[in-house]
Chains A and B, each alone.
Chain A
Amino acid sequence: MTAETISEGRTGSDFWDGVRLSMPVVVASAPFAVLFGAIAVDNGFSVLEAFLMSAMIYGGASQMVGIELFGQHVAPWLIVLSIFAVNFRHVLYSAGIGRRIAHWPLLQQAAGYFILTDPQFAIAEARAESGRPVGFVWYLGLGLPVYVFWVIESGLGAVFGKMIPDTHALGIDFLLPIYFLGLVLGFRKRPLWAPVVAASAVASIIAYRTVGSPWHVSIGAIAGVLLAVILPPHHSGVGKRP
């Protein structure tokens, strides 16, 4: 075997490693993609527009909020601002993941940031933490199936939305919190995990009650991050002298 075929085989298996990890994300996001498509058409979007929104924005919660406001005939700039507000947490993701993918060529980085969703960030961070490299091919294997299924299922929901059965009995409204709880628990071995989770939980609940949604996400997140910044760095396991 030549060196070239070895590296090619490695690249292929990197891709499929990513695809394997994407499967839970595909399963968990499927109901929301279909639901989004159905609600979009219900609120006056065409099938093409629902499809385009999923393909271009690719952020479930912000799409739901946008479509809800659109249905209530809210001013366009306010809809865009709300989408921005819901997605603001990604600023923290991109600051965090930048350290892992800075060695990629510029175009690959540009594409990488486009598909930087909650699970994409969480799973890539977990890989970096375990000491393995976050390569573009692996990252694409993780993100591409999620993106393709998200966009197609949105279109299907837009076309066949009227046929969706009782969403409450199917638990669709609560599937995402379960999934996100799973992602949070995946990081429980990190230094400061429990205090950060506690700070973010308390702050986000208080902000949810006072300031309101979607700002509780950014406020709660900043509370957790600030706690880690304020505590002496040795608690976080960084900055150790060799």
Chain B
Amino acid sequence: MSTTFWIILAGAVATYLTRVGGHLVISRFDTIHPRVEAGLNAVPAAVLTTLVAPELLHAGPAEWAALIVTVLVSLRGGLMAMFLAGAAVLILARQFIG
């Protein structure tokens, strides 16, 4: 087996551990404290935000336009509409602004 294969295998095991680890820890407790539950309810917004926020540091006009349109569309539309509108604005703006 090549080194590459072992890197992939070890990476896969490490990744699976992260995907099951939080559950294994939480499931050891019989009851979940309300504060822990509040923390778990905050997970989607807390984690997903960190995948967007640092991108703002090097966002130019095209990127900002796309994000603003995404927010506007989110007030009425679903995820697909949001994404397609944001992507369309981004690609269009980049043709002109670069």
Contact = CB atoms under 8 A, between A and B. Distances in A.
B51 A93 contact: no
15 contacts: A53-B11, A84-B11, A88-B18, A92-B43, A94-B21, A98-B23, A98-B27, A99-B32, A125-B44, A168-B94, A175-B83, A180-B52, A185-B70, A201-B53, A225-B46
A80 B10 CA distance: 6
Nearest to B38: A236
Which of B49, B54, B80 has the most C-beta atoms of chain A within 10 angstroms of its own C-beta?
B49
B5 A174 contact: no
A47 interface: no
A157 interface: no
Contacts of B36: 229
Interface of A: 23-24, 27-28, 45-46, 49, 52-53, 56-59, 62, 66, 70, 76, 79-81, 83-84, 87-99, 102, 110, 113-114, 116, 118, 121-122, 125-126, 168-171, 174-188, 190-193, 196-197, 199-205, 208-209, 213, 216-217, 219-231, 233, 235-239
Interface of B: 2-12, 14-27, 32, 34-57, 59, 62-63, 66-67, 70-71, 74, 78-80, 82-84, 86-87, 90-91, 94-95
A121 B48 CA distance: 10
A217 B45 contact: no
Contact of B45 (A197, A230, A239): A197
Say whether chain A's binding surface is mostly helix, strand, loop, or mixed. Answer: helix
A233 B32 CA distance: 13
A214 B10 CA distance: 19
Contacts of B49: 184, 196-197, 200-201, 204, 220, 224
B47 A92 contact: yes
Contacts of B24: 94
A25 B49 CA distance: 17
A169 B44 contact: no
B2 to A, nearest CB: 8
